[in-house]
Chains A and B, each alone.
Chain A
Amino acid sequence: DTAVSQTPKYLVTQMGNDKSIKCEQNLGHDTMYWYKQDSKKFLKIMFSYNNKELIINETVPNRFSPKSPDKAHLNLHINSLELGDSAVYFCASSQDLTAIRSGNTIYFGEGSWLTVV
């Protein structure tokens, strides 16, 4: 019954590897996001998709590539992992873009703890 679920929850991998984090929401929302949280808890938006279309792509390295096969899923693929990619990655969703402007809630997944060694 989890509204926004992401897998894996924990991921330890070596530098240079390629990894993916999957996200699914069962809320019927149109808009999904990826956020990165650093060790100081700062949350930074990475990407946002609305109805499977990319609408926000902040200054994120090209090694990060989101994929949205349908509006309930937004996966994050990371190539050539670097030490600085170690962080917690949160998937989130909201009803739609209009809802964001009128104050609707964003629902977060539980996070994926990525450690690059």
Chain B
Amino acid sequence: GNSVTQMEGPVTLSEEAFLTINCTYTATGYPSLFWYVQYPGEGLQLLLKATKADDKGSNKGFEATYRKETTSFHLEKGSVQVSDSAVYFCALSGSGGSYIPTFGRGTSLIVHP
């Protein structure tokens, strides 16, 4: 079946540090890949996505590249802010005829001033 593996958190950084949150997946065919973000007390919202190999999704300074050869979709940001503190979820959908989007376990990011 489909699965998404994310690095365990929390990830704790100082403001303006470089961020990487690793995500790898297992799926058949060519799934679409997503990063969702959950701010404290809120629901999940789409951060960025990529629907085919080598596509790069980007939004709010975050970016991730769909790497089929390594089955990865790592999230990066060059300079994090305190307001980026949240839980980040990697997800996939559209694999093997499945209607269920598959989410990773989430990685908590804490950014200190």
Contacts and interface: CB of A to CB of B under 8 A. Distances in A.
A62 B42 CA distance: 28
A90 interface: yes
Contacts of B89: 43
B49 A103 contact: yes
Interface residues of A, number: 26
Interface residues of B, number: 24
A41 B105 contact: yes
The B interface is mostly helix, strand or loop, or mixed, namely strand
Contact of B44 (A31, A45, A103, A108): A108
B43 A103 contact: no
Interface stretch (A12-20, A64-72, A75-83, A94-102): A94-102
A43 B103 contact: yes
Given A41-B108, A103-B32, A103-B51, A110 B94 contact: no
Given A101-B93, A101-B94, A111-B43, A106 B105 contact: no
Which one of A50, A56, A101, A107 has the highest number of Cβ atoms from chain B below 10 Å of its Cβ? A101
Contacts of A40: 105
A100 B94 contact: yes
Contact of A56 (B97, B99, B105): B99
Interface string A32-64: 000000001111010010100001100000000
Contacts of B49: 103, 105
Interface centre among B41, B99, B100 (most CB of A within 10 A): B99
A5 B83 CA distance: 24
A90 B44 contact: yes
Q: 10 tightest CB-CB pairs across the interface, nearest first?
A: A103-B32, A108-B43, A103-B51, A101-B94, A41-B106, A108-B44, A110-B43, A43-B103, A105-B46, A100-B93
Interface of B: 32, 34, 36, 38, 41-46, 49, 51, 87, 89, 93-94, 97, 99-101, 103, 105-106, 108
19 contacts: A4-B43, A31-B99, A41-B106, A43-B44, A43-B89, A45-B100, A90-B43, A92-B44, A94-B101, A100-B93, A100-B99, A101-B94, A101-B97, A103-B51, A106-B101, A107-B46, A108-B45, A110-B43, A111-B42
